[in-house]
Amino acid sequence: MATELSFVNSTGSGCQIFRDRLGCYVVSHELRPGERAMRPTLAGAYAACQGWESRSQSEAASRVG
């Protein structure tokens, strides 16, 4: 069963937020293709974006040093 998604917003760092027809938010990030997170609120979706961005920065820093 395919879920229809409506685009809500994207952050400057590559995170995209969509809303499904049931009212949940689906979050994806261009640095993590294939990974998605579902959150019940828009605030939770933005928090998921922040989490991905923090992890991506940490991973990049550990590869450099």
Task: Output the pTM of the full model.
Answer: 0.78
pLDDT digits (tens, 9 = 90+) for 15-25: 999 999 999 99
Residue 63 lies in a domain: no
Domains contained in the chain, number: 1
Residue 29 lies in a domain: yes
Residue 14 lies in a domain: yes
pLDDT digits (tens, 9 = 90+) for 42-55: 999 999 999 887 77
Range of the domain at 14: 5-53
Q: At 7, give phi and psi (nearest 5°).
A: -65, 135
**At 49, is the secondary structure helix, strand, or coil?**
helix
Residue 61 lies in a domain: no
Residue 65 lies in a domain: no
Residue 46 lies in a domain: yes
